């Protein structure tokens, strides 16, 4: 069916707002007029040089994949400014103009929400209720509902009215995703941050993880990444503070694999501190009495602290071969903690678990 038939005209008049600070749709396309622009329009295009610290959760509204504009003032920060940032913190923005009384809108909006969610952070959907924000829809010359506009880098690049067929709607959203550089922007950003950390570029990794804190769905993983950066920087106290923050602010995310790995690594680092002897000293003492499980266990902790994890696993497996229940299973518990810090896909975890199973089943 013709998309134009699946739309509703805005029949009732909306009050004019003589002092509106909102640019018209043509200004989004070409920029403001060279002369005669009001001070309000100029003010809209000014970017604040500094940001004010926000309370916990305050950033969620501006970085969530789907938002509802609650005031005309939010248009500048949540649409114009956000569209000029790179994903996943910013990116192209779809403006969805709707009304509660508009039946076609109720068909379109859920489809838009699904497609935007599937983009995995590549773009945002900003919903605008024309009855609650008449000055915004009027400034952007919205004449019928639903109307959808695509804003990229502060400019209107495409739009449509009515309810498009599913294939055409997906093509429209795919165009927005392409402008963002493809789907899964947040996942790519996390991978880049992790790669930087593993390559020893702690400052760069810290910067990248810090940017991702603004995304509610990735804040826990980003915090875990910052804890690992702190460990790389030999700042155990900060790493422990960040782990405490994880438990306090993201209790539902602490069992995510990447978060769990970070928590375990910080715990292992804390357990390995305060040892009275060096690795060489512990090995020398161990040579005098191989059955001294406590010395071997202390050696394993020291090895972990110095990132000699494979050697630590070997020492713990040696203890378990001699005495599986030694010290209330301390060797097994530490071994499992090491596996958790490495992740299930790590080759050392796979080999270690097989050896552990053989010992237990022997």
Residue 167 has which token pair?
């294939």
Of 125, 123, 126, residue with least CA distance to 185 = 123
Give me the pLDDT at residue 45, please. 27
Give me the pLDDT at residue 360, please. 87
Topology of the domain comprising 279-361: 1.25.40
Give the tens place of pLDDT for each residue, 290-324. Answer: 678 988 998 998 888 788 999 999 999 999 999 98
Give the tens place of pLDDT for each residue, 333-353. Answer: 999 999 998 888 899 999 999
| Count of beta carbons in the 10 Å neighbourhood of residue 282 | 23
Choosing among 1.10.10.10, 3.30.470.10, 1.25.40.10, 3.40.50.300, the CATH entry for 185-274 is: 1.25.40.10
Q: Is 150 in contact with 159 (CB distance < 8 Å)?
A: yes
Give the tens place of pLDDT for each residue, 127-174. Answer: 999 999 999 999 999 999 999 999 999 999 999 999 999 999 999 999
Domain boundaries, the chain: 66-182, 185-274, 279-361
Of 139, 146, 108, 132, residue with least CA distance to 10 = 146
* Domain 66-182 identical in fold to domain 185-274: no
Active-site choice (21, 40, 105, 229): 105
Instruction: Give yes or no for residue 275 having a pLDDT over 60.
Output: no
- Please compute the mean of the pLDDT values over residues 282-291 and round it to a whole number: 76
Instruction: Give yes or no for residue 14 having a pLDDT over 70.
Output: no
Give me the pLDDT at residue 122, please. 84
Whole-prediction pTM: 0.53
Give me the pLDDT at residue 290, please. 62
Topology of the domain comprising 66-182: Glutaredoxin (3.40.30)
Give me the pLDDT at residue 44, please. 22
For residue 202, give Cα distances in angstroms to 80, 86, 206, 223, 250. Answer: 32, 22, 6, 14, 24
| Count of beta carbons in the 10 Å neighbourhood of residue 102 | 21
Instruction: Give yes or no for residue 61 having a pLDDT over 70.
Output: no
Q: Would you call 102 a catalytic residue per the annotation?
A: yes
Instruction: Give yes or no for residue 36 having a pLDDT over 60.
Output: no
Rounded Cα distance, 269 and 338, in Å: 11
Give me the pLDDT at residue 28, please. 52
Q: Would you call 105 a catalytic residue per the annotation?
A: yes
Instruction: Give yes or no for residue 12 having a pLDDT over 50.
Output: no
């Amino acid at each position: 069916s013709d998309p134009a038939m699946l739309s509703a005209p805005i029949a009732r008049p909306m009050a004019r707002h003589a002092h509106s600070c909102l640019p018209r749709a043509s200004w989004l396309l070409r920029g403001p007029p060279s002369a005669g622009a009001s001070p309000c329009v100029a003010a809209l295009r000014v970017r604040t040089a500094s940001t004010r610290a926000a309370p916990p959760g305050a950033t969620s509204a501006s970085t969530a994949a789907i938002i509802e504009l609650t005031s005309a003032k939010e248009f500048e920060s949540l649409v114009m400014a956000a569209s000029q940032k790179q994903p996943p913190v910013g990116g192209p923005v779809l403006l969805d103009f709707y009304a509660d009384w508009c039946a076609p809108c109720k068909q379109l909006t859920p489809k838009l929400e699904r497609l935007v969610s599937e983009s995995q952070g590549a773009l945002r959907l900003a919903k605008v209720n024309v009855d609650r924000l008449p000055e915004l829809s009027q400034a952007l010359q919205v004449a019928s509902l639903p109307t959808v506009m695509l804003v990229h880098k502060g400019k209107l690049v495409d739009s449509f009215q009515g309810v498009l067929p599913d294939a055409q709607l997906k093509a429209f959203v795919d165009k927005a995703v392409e402008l963002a550089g493809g789907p899964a922007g947040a996942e790519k950003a996390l991978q880049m941050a992790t790669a930087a950390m593993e390559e020893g570029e702690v400052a760069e990794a810290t910067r990248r993880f810090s940017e991702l804190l603004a995304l509610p769905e990735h804040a826990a993983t980003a915090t875990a990444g910052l804890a690992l950066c702190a460990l790389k920087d030999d700042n155990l106290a900060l790493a422990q503070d960040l782990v405490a923050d994880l438990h306090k602010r993201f209790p539902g995310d602490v069992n995510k694999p990447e978060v769990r790995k970070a928590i375990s690594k910080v715990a292992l680092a804390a357990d390995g501190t305060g040892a009275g002897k060096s690795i060489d000293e512990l090995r020398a003492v161990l040579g005098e009495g191989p059955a001294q499980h406590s010395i071997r266990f202390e050696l394993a902790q020291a090895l972990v602290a110095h990132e000699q994890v494979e050697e630590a696993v070997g020492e713990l497996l040696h203890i378990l071969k001699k005495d599986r229940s030694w010290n209330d299973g301390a060797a097994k518990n530490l071994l499992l903690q090491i596996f958790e810090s490495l992740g299930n896909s790590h080759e050392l975890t796979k080999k270690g678990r097989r050896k552990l199973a053989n010992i237990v089943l022997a």
